Amino acid sequence: MNDIPDHFTDESLFAFLDGQLSASEEKAFERHLAACRSCSAELERMQALFSDLESLSELPLQVDLADRVLARLPRPAPAPRFLRAASALQLLAAAVILVLAIPLLLLQPGFVEWSAGVQNEFESLGARLEPLSAFVSTTILAAEDLIMESVQGFGQPDALAAVAATLIPLLASSSLLWIIGNGILIPRLRRDFSRR
Amino acid sequence: MDAPDDRDLVRRVRRGEVDAFGDLVRRYQQSVFNVALRVLRNREDAEDLAQDAFIRAYERLDRYDIDRPFGPWVHRLTANLAINSLKRRRTLFELDEERDRTSPAGHSAPEQALVRKERDRDLHAALTSLPAHYRAAIELRHFQEMSYQQIAAALGVPLNTARSHLYRGRRLLAERMERP
């Protein structure tokens, strides 16, 4: 398309309108355009057609397609019973393990020293916090007594500490599994079921 | 309260709120229908295809780039679907052009009465009277703003053929618009 003929072909005319000519071709085209009234008129005619296409009004749609489309879309179905039961059981298991593990956590070696340290910290806060400090100290001591009394029937503190060491990772992994199970797997399974 | 924008609606649909897709349909059904109508020419076919296009859009929503405008995406999808529908009917490249040139415009009289401008009416009539492959090329170029390469890919023809369809379609359209 290096040589623009005396009068434009449709190919060069439309290539010009579509911005498909090279810079040199475009210059040659424009030079011819300035000298040729016929081609200039033809270009204007096509530009008007393009403009009419661009502003062409839309024909009215006489129905509402939304309801028809929505009726054909898969709806999310309620989760199957076993999924709902699994979710509830996971929650229950996590709660039970939490209840069992917290007292055992308190029996971990070093906890008594740690609680004494906390007690000392509170005591050092001074007279302004004395009522609060006394309350915390009393509460911690009472909790220790209560725990020691309640676990005496189950065995020696060392053995319980070993059990606690096992339960703590169990608690962590159960909680993690619960989060994964409810947060990721169940919604995905629910979507899969709804597509069936 | 402001109406939610397209991105919000798409996000809600992706989260499982199917009804939010109804809002997207209401927002674009008119333009999607017109894309289908310009290619297929028949109102009932265009309504059916517009529904199919929205169903397809819903199914592909996971692959839609939410940073790009929804309208052009669903319009292109509709145009491609309409052209594939013509291909399936074996009409796209097997039309008798002479018969097509003399075929009546696809609009009924009441429909034409609704078109506001006379020139619009003539243009609609001239467009619908074009052979299917010319009509499709013009739809993809002028309404969907596709490149020559994209038109060739959508029509499933070589680049030169796509260009030829487009140029001849324009020329024929201009001639028909000049008829009294």
Contact state of A61 with B47 under an 8 Å Cβ cutoff: yes
Contact state of A63 with B120 under an 8 Å Cβ cutoff: no
Q: Are B53 and B78 in contact (CB under 8 A)?
A: yes
| Residue B99 to chain A, least CA–CA distance (Å) | 24
- Report helix, strand or coil for A155: coil
For A26-45, the pLDDT digits (tens) are: 999 999 999 999 999 999 99
Q: Can you tell me the distance from the alpha carbon of A113 to that of A115, in angstroms, rounded to the nearest whole number? A: 5
**Percent of chain B whose pLDDT exceeds 70:** 83
Find tokens 């209401």 and name the residue: B26
pLDDT given for residue A6 in this prediction: 72
| Residue B168 to chain A, least CA–CA distance (Å) | 8
CA-angle at B131, arms to B129 and B132, nearest 5°: 110
Element (H, E) at B24: helix B19-40
Whole-complex ipTM? 0.80
Residues 84-123 of B with CB under 8 A from A: 107, 111, 114-117, 119-120, 123
Does residue A191 register a pLDDT over 70?
no
Give the pLDDT band (50/70/90) at residue B103.
Answer: very low
Does residue A22 register a pLDDT over 90?
yes
Give the pLDDT band (50/70/90) at residue A129.
Answer: low
**Tokens at A122, concatenated:** 């509170």
Candidate from A11, A52, A53 with C-beta closest to B167? A11
Spatial CA neighbour of A90 closest among A26, A5, A22, A179: A179
Q: Can you tell me the distance from the alpha carbon of B155 to that of A34, in angstroms, rounded to the nearest whole number? A: 37
pLDDT given for residue B13 in this prediction: 93
Contact state of A69 with B33 under an 8 Å Cβ cutoff: no
> Average pLDDT, stretch B93-119?
51
How many Cβ pairs within 8 Å bridge chains A and B? 94
Q: Are A58 and B30 in contact (CB under 8 A)?
A: yes
Contact state of B167 with A46 under an 8 Å Cβ cutoff: no
C-alpha separations of A136 from A99, A103, A106, A117 in Å: 22, 17, 16, 12
Q: Can you tell me the distance from the alpha carbon of A63 to that of A71, in angstroms, rounded to the nearest whole number? A: 15
Contacts (Cβ under 8 Å, ≥6 apart) of B113: none
- Residue A174 exposure: Cα atoms within 13 Å on the Cβ side: 18
Q: Can you tell me the distance from the alpha carbon of A47 to that of B170, in angstroms, rounded to the nearest whole number? A: 11
Candidate from B29, B54, B117 with C-beta closest to A57? B117
**Tokens at B64, concatenated:** 């839609």
Instruction: Provide the whole-model pTM.
Output: 0.64
Please give the backbone phi and psi of residue B15, each rounded to the nearest 5 degrees, phi first. Answer: -80, -5
Most confident of the following: A171-175, A181-185, B152-156:
B152-156
pLDDT given for residue A90 in this prediction: 73
**3-state helix vs strand vs coil in chain B, percent to 5:** 75, 0, 25
Spatial CA neighbour of B77 closest among B92, B59, B95: B59
| Residue B42 to chain A, least CA–CA distance (Å) | 12
* B92 compared with B41, residue with greater pLDDT: B41
| Residue B1 to chain A, least CA–CA distance (Å) | 22
Most confident of the following: A116-130, B117-131, B160-174:
B160-174
